[in-house]
């Protein structure tokens, strides 16, 4: 018996719906309809703006001004959260969490950390960087169970890399397990979700059950392969796990910093990556809006009860949160750690290749919109979720994806439409002359948020490599001027692309962001 | 350290929400042209605006005699969007150019746009010789041969006012549609129409008058179609005493025409007849010849004075 509180595998398993075709009859029709909502809202806004600009430019101008002001205050409001998150993260990074655990008389010797690294064709050096960081973390490495999960479809090379790492690091950790994920298992979509779901069940049987380890004592960290932990990550995670009320109804979310190769990545990549970091930092201050993203941690017990990650969809990192939210009838949350992990910013040979990879990565993240029909569907079907929670999560999801796909376009492109295609009468009005001036001025005022972003991004930079001149700091600051461009071309467009695909039923597969070796 | 407290977040939210509710209607009213006016008893009045654009850097723009702006390479415009409705005197000056001035009416909530027509005080005409010298190999004296450029220019003038066809239009200007047409009440031989964008100019050879007509969407008319709130479309903007030999739009402008009249002159005239309507002489024959012209490409004015061909570049 593992634990008297353990239910069976998947005892609370929510429906693992990947797409409408996983359902039958009216449910299928309902889910398909819900899949079409995000793109309908986004395209409705864009087309509506164009039509309104032509036929009723005056009303469109009112809308644009109202929206500009809303956007300005939203920027200021979010900047306040970002600043607070920054202070909290700096504070957390200074804490000796091991000492804090002792000072707070928290018993944690019974806890094990299972760290899963799924990978495909990444190189040895990329994977080793993360393992090395685990080994040098300020936490008892014997309490860490490292799980390498290579994809069988990646060929013998991936397995050979895993074996090589095991030979080198097996003695460092409590366990070092390799779970090679077979190709083409029935009901699976190739990707991270199916891989780690397979790996974790193997580990359960081969290690946890065989060593009679309580599932409640295991904290699973599902990491992207390029995740490099900061020294106190596990101390911080353990402290939060032990001090959170009912930690089995919570996921634990670090802040993803894309620092591994930040000095080598082009400015475009840096800005896009840092923007993602800032969004996560803002959300850390608004935990009720936070869903798990990228690398995160959660109790094994919880994963076991809800049947692990979905194997039939792309965005398993955020879906696992929604799975738990549905499984526990809304009684589930994300605990923000305000402590970073470091990952790779997009870096490919050549600017255009990098730009293309950024676009594809952003589109994959934008494909998180596949959670919208899932959330809405379960809010409709699950009567036990409190109504207010249903309204909150539904609005947050819809507003979030609508904003991603439309707000940059409204600010930077559609705002000029009434002046361009409006009637000559409108073009001769004082309002028409003022509209571009107001939009420009409001954008300039919103630059305050950018300056804060620039300062914060500088404060998290890893040490400057010797071959990078001091002037690079200036570029790291000035790069933020690219924001209007990046949030349009690497935010709105890939977001709209993903939503349109979902609308049309052209479902995306898992695209593995290429990781390249960087300087050691 | 815990995340920002709910109370603090709520305060931020309420604060920004209240600011949003307060600021938005004020900004919209401001953008519409409403201003606080404590000088008058009315607290809020609706204002209008004047917009002046010129592509010439270094132009001084005056409103009612007060210098408001000197244009530069990047800033080529002046916008005042908070002036009281009424009549204003706009003047534009640039060294080496004839000054331009206009009385404009400013209406509440509307911006009156003007585009000063600044013409050089002196045009620098360049003669195109009919013959050119060519020195053949082995000879010391040059041979005189026809200048192909001259011949090419002469060809431009083979069409006359009344027989313009589509073949000649491509030689005249990229921006213009030219078509000989006849209105219901005027015969084909008596009118010539030229269209630039939404503006059409027609010359009636019987009345010796030019008419301007706007085809803008939604019955919109440029301000110069209106006087004292009365708008007329089409309207006659110029009457000439001699027969017009040819006319065309001034390069890049839909509010200025260039025309040649019998008796030896080429002139430019604004369609905008509000005072002061600019009508300027571009060229007059010293020989008393009939002078004709064509506009070539984007901004070349080609003059034919008898057998003499002259060219100059017109500022856009």
- Of residues A74, A336, A435, nearest to B3 (C-beta): A336
CA distance A154 to A26: 39
Q: Tell me, what's the pLDDT at B160?
A: 55
- Of residues A91, A286, A423, nearest to B217 (C-beta): A423
Residue A343 per-residue DSSP state: -
CA distance A432 to A423: 10
Question: ipTM, 2 decimals?
Answer: 0.84
* Two tokens, residue B169: 């239009």
Indicate yes or no: CB of A435 within 8 angstroms of CB of B79: no
Q: Which of A28-32, A448-452, B192-196, B200-204 has the lowest mean pLDDT?
A: A448-452
SS3 letters across chain B: CCCCCHHHHHHHHHHHHHHHHHHHHHHHHHHHCEEECCCCCCCEEECEEEEEECCCCCCEEEECCEEEEECCCCCCEEEEEEECCEEEEEEEECCCECCEEEEEEECCCEEEEECCCCCECCCCCEEECCEEEECCCCCCCCEEEECHHHHHHHHHCCCCHHHCCHHHHHHHCCCCEEECCCCCCCCHHHEEEEEECCEEEEEECCCCEEEEEECCHHHCCCHHHEECCEECCCEEEEECCCCEEEEEECCCCCCEEEEEECCCEEEEEECCCCCCCCEEEEEECCCCCCEEEEEECCCEEEEEECCEEEEEECCC
A338: left (phi over 0), alpha (psi -120 to 50) or beta: left
* Residues in B touching A62 (Cβ below 8 Å): 28
* Residues in B touching A431 (Cβ below 8 Å): 31-33, 109
Q: Which of A91-100, A119-128, A167-176, B278-287 has the lowest mean pLDDT?
A: B278-287
Q: Tell me, what's the pLDDT at A2?
A: 42
- Of residues A62, A76, A433, nearest to B79 (C-beta): A433
Distance from CA of A472 to the nearest CA of B (A): 31
Q: Which run of H or E residues covers position A120?
A: none
Contacts of A140 (CB under 8 A, 6+ apart): none
Indicate yes or no: CB of A80 within 8 angstroms of CB of B12: yes
Strand ranges in A300-372 using DSSP code E only, listed in sequence order: 333-342
Total residues belonging to chain B: 316
Q: Which of A143-157, A393-407, B167-181 has the lowest mean pLDDT?
A: B167-181
Beta bridge partners of B302: B294, B311
Query: Closest chain A residue to B216 measured between Cα atoms?
Result: A424
Q: B309 or B263: which carries more pLDDT confidence?
A: B309
Q: Order of strands across the sheet with B77-83? A: B77-83, B48-53, B111-114
In this predicted structure, the answer to whether residue A511 has a pLDDT above a threshold of 90 is no
Measured CA to CA in angstroms, residue A10 lies from A165, A304, A391 at distances of: 32, 6, 27
Residue B304, φ and ψ in degrees, nearest 5: -120, 115
Query: Which tens digits make up the pLDDT trace of A198-211?
Result: 999 999 999 999 99
Cβ atoms of residues B304 and B292 within 8 Å: yes
Indicate yes or no: CB of A430 within 8 angstroms of CB of B31: yes
**Burial per residue of A53-72, b for 16 or more beta-carbon CB atoms within 10 angstroms, e otherwise:** bbebbbebbbbbbebbbbbb
* Residues in B touching A434 (Cβ below 8 Å): 30-33, 81
In this predicted structure, the answer to whether residue A318 has a pLDDT above a threshold of 70 is yes
CA distance A118 to A161: 12
What percent of chain A stands above pLDDT 70? 97
Helix (H, G, I), strand (E, B) or coil at A311: coil
Cβ atoms of residues B281 and B135 within 8 Å: no
Query: Closest chain B residue to A89 measured between Cα atoms?
Result: B1
pLDDT band for position A407 (50/70/90)?
Answer: very high
- Cβ atoms < 10 Å from Cβ of A370: 24
Mean of pLDDT over chain A: 92
CA distance A77 to A486: 21
In this predicted structure, the answer to whether residue A422 has a pLDDT above a threshold of 70 is yes
Contacts of A58 (CB under 8 A, 6+ apart): A418, A426, A429, A431
Q: Suggest the residue from A75, A83, A428 to mutate for an interface test with chain B (most B CBs closer than 10 A).
A: A428
* Residues in A touching B16 (Cβ below 8 Å): 73-74, 76-77
A244 to chain B, any CB pair closer than 8 A? The answer is no
**A8-17 average pLDDT score:** 89
Q: Which of A79-83, A438-442, B179-183 has the lowest mean pLDDT?
A: B179-183
Indicate yes or no: CB of B24 within 8 angstroms of CB of A287: no
Indicate yes or no: CB of B218 within 8 angstroms of CB of A336: no
Distance from CA of B110 to the nearest CA of A (A): 4
- Of residues A286, A425, A434, nearest to B31 (C-beta): A434
Helix (H, G, I), strand (E, B) or coil at A486: helix
pLDDT band for position A1 (50/70/90)?
Answer: very low
Cβ atoms of residues A371 and A393 within 8 Å: no
Query: Which tens digits make up the pLDDT trace of A75-124?
Result: 899 999 999 999 999 999 999 999 999 999 999 999 999 999 999 999 99
Query: Which tens digits make up the pLDDT trace of A424-434?
Result: 889 889 999 99
CA distance A461 to B17: 35
Query: Closest chain A residue to B33 measured between Cα atoms?
Result: A430
**B300-306 average pLDDT score:** 90
Indicate yes or no: CB of A433 within 8 angstroms of CB of B24: no
Count of CA atoms in the C-beta half-sphere (13 A) of B73: 0
A403 to chain B, any CB pair closer than 8 A? The answer is no
Q: Tell me, what's the pLDDT at B162?
A: 39
* Surface-to-core class of residue A284, CB atoms within 10 Å of its CB (0-12 exposed, 13-18 middle, 19+ buried): buried
**Burial per residue of A202-213, b for 16 or more beta-carbon CB atoms within 10 angstroms, e otherwise:** bbbeebbeeeeb
* Two tokens, residue B167: 């073949």
Q: Tell me, what's the pLDDT at B306?
A: 86
Q: B39 or A309: which carries more pLDDT confidence?
A: A309
A81 to chain B, any CB pair closer than 8 A? The answer is yes
Mean of pLDDT over chain B: 83
CA distance A17 to A37: 17
In this predicted structure, the answer to whether residue B77 has a pLDDT above a threshold of 70 is yes
* Residues in B touching A432 (Cβ below 8 Å): 111
Nearest to A196 by CA among A18, A11, A320, A356: A320
Query: Which tens digits make up the pLDDT trace of A238-279?
Result: 999 999 999 999 999 999 999 888 898 999 999 999 999 999
Query: Which tens digits make up the pLDDT trace of B111-147?
Result: 999 999 998 888 889 999 988 888 777 677 777 888 8
The CA-based angle A93-A97-A98, given to 5 degrees, is 145
- Of residues B16, B24, B32, nearest to A430 (C-beta): B32
- Of residues B16, B30, B33, nearest to A73 (C-beta): B16
- Total beta-carbon pairs less than 8 A apart between chain A and chain B: 93
CA distance B292 to B277: 23
CA distance B267 to B252: 16
Indicate yes or no: CB of A423 within 8 angstroms of CB of B111: no
Indicate yes or no: CB of A430 within 8 angstroms of CB of B9: no
A40 to chain B, any CB pair closer than 8 A? The answer is no
A435 to chain B, any CB pair closer than 8 A? The answer is yes
pLDDT band for position A516 (50/70/90)?
Answer: low
Query: Closest chain B residue to A435 measured between Cα atoms?
Result: B31
**A38-57 average pLDDT score:** 96
Q: Suggest the residue from A420, A430, A434 to mutate for an interface test with chain B (most B CBs closer than 10 A).
A: A430
Query: Which tens digits make up the pLDDT trace of A349-397?
Result: 888 899 999 999 999 999 999 999 999 999 999 999 999 999 999 999 9
A80 to chain B, any CB pair closer than 8 A? The answer is yes
A55 to chain B, any CB pair closer than 8 A? The answer is no
Nearest to A222 by CA among A257, A251, A242, A247: A251
Q: Tell me, what's the pLDDT at A501?
A: 97
Measured CA to CA in angstroms, residue B190 lies from A351, A362, B187, B313 at distances of: 64, 66, 5, 31
pLDDT band for position B42 (50/70/90)?
Answer: low
The CA-based angle B219-B220-B222, given to 5 degrees, is 140
- Of residues A69, A92, A336, nearest to B20 (C-beta): A69
* Residues in A touching B45 (Cβ below 8 Å): none
**A25-46 average pLDDT score:** 97
Total residues belonging to chain A: 520
Contacts of A118 (CB under 8 A, 6+ apart): A149, A150, A151, A181, A192, A195, A196, A199, A222, A225
Residue A512 per-residue DSSP state: P
């Amino acid at each position: 018996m593992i634990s008297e509180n353990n239910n069976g595998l998947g005892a609370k398993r929510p429906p693992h719906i990947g797409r409408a075709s996983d359902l039958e009859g009216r449910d299928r029709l309902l889910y398909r309809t819900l899949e079409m909502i995000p793109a309908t809202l986004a395209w409705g806004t864009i087309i509506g703006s164009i039509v309104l600009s032509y036929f009723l430019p005056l009303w469109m101008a009112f809308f644009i001004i109202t929206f500009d002001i809303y956007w300005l205050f939203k920027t200021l409001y979010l900047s306040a959260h970002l600043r607070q998150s920054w202070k909290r993260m700096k504070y957390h990074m200074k804490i000796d969490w091991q000492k804090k655990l002792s000072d707070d008389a928290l018993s944690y010797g019974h806890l094990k950390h299972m760290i899963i690294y799924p990978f495909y064709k990444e190189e040895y050096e990329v994977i080793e960087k993360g393992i090395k960081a685990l080994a040098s973390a300020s936490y008892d490495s014997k309490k860490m169970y490292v799980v390498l999960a290579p994809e069988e479809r990646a060929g013998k090379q991936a397995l050979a890399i895993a074996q090589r790492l095991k030979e080198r690091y097996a003695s460092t950790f409590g366990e070092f397990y390799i779970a090679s994920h077979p190709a083409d298992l029935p009901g699976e979509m190739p990707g991270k979700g199916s891989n780690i779901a397979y790996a974790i069940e193997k580990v359960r049987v081969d290690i946890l059950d065989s060593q009679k380890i309580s599932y409640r004592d295991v904290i699973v960290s599902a990491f992207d392969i390029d995740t490099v932990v900061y020294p106190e990550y596990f101390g911080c995670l353990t402290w939060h796990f032990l001090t959170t009320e009912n930690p089995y109804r919570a996921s634990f979310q670090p802040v993803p910093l894309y620092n591994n190769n930040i000095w080598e990545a082009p400015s475009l990549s840096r800005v896009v990556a840092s923007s993602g970091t800032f969004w996560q930092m803002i959300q850390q201050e608004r935990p009720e809006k936070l869903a798990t993203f990228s690398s995160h941690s959660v109790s094994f017990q919880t994963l076991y009860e809800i049947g692990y990650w979905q194997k039939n969809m792309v965005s398993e990192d955020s879906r696992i949160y929604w799975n738990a939210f549905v499984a526990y009838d809304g009684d589930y949350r994300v605990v923000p750690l305000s402590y970073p992990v470091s990952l790779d910013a997009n870096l490919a040979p050549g600017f255009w290749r990098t730009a293309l990879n950024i676009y594809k990565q952003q589109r994959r993240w934008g494909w998180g919109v596949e959670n919208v029909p899932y959330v809405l569907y379960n809010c409709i079907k699950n009567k036990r979720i409190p109504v207010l929670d249903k309204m909150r999560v539904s609005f947050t999801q819809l507003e979030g994806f609508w904003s991603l796909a439309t707000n940059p376009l409204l600010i930077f492109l559609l705002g000029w439409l009434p002046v361009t295609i409006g009637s000559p009468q409108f073009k001769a009005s004082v309002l028409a002359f003022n509209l571009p001036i107001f939009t420009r001025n409001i954008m300039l005022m919103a630059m305050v948020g950018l300056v804060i972003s620039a300062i914060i991004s500088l404060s998290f930079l890893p040490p400057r490599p010797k071959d990078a001149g001091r002037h690079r700091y200036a570029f790291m600051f000035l790069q933020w001027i690219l924001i209007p461009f990046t949030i349009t071309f690497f935010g709105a467009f890939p977001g709209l692309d993903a939503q349109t695909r979902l609308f049309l039923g052209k479902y995306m597969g898992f695209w593995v962001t290429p990781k390249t070796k960087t300087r050691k | 350290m815990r995340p920002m407290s709910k109370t603090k977040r709520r305060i931020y939210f309420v604060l920004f929400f209240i600011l949003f509710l307060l600021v938005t209607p004020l900004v919209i009213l401001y953008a519409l042209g409403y201003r606080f006016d404590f000088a008058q008893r009315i607290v809020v009045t609706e204002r209008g605006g004047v917009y002046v654009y010129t592509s010439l850097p270094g132009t001084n723009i005056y409103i009612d005699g007060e210098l408001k702006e000197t244009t530069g390479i990047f800033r080529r415009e002046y916008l005042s969007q908070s002036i009281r409705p009424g009549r204003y005197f706009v003047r534009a000056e640039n060294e080496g150019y004839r000054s331009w001035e206009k009385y404009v009416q400013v209406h509440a909530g509307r911006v009156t746009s003007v585009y000063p027509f600044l013409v050089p005080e002196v045009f620098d005409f360049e003669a195109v010789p009919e013959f050119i010298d060519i020195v053949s190999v082995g000879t010391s004296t040059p041979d005189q041969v026809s200048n192909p450029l001259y011949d090419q220019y002469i060809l431009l003038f083979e069409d006359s006012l009344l027989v313009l066809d589509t073949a000649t239009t491509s030689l005249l200007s990229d921006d213009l549609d030219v078509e000989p047409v006849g209105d219901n009440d005027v015969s084909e031989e008596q009118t010539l129409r030229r269209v630039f964008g939404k503006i059409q100019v027609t010359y009636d050879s019987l009345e010796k008058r030019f008419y301007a007509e706007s085809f803008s969407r939604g019955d919109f008319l440029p301000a110069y179609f209106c006087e004292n709130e009365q708008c007329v479309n089409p309207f006659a903007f110029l009457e000439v005493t001699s027969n017009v030999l040819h006319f065309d739009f001034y390069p890049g402008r839909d509010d200025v025409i260039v025309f040649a009249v019998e008796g030896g002159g080429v002139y430019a005239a604004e369609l905008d007849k509000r005072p002061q309507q600019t009508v300027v002489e571009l060229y007059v024959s010293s020989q008393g010849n009939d002078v004709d012209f064509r506009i070539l490409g984007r901004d070349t004015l080609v003059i034919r004075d008898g057998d003499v061909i002259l060219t100059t570049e017109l500022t856009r």
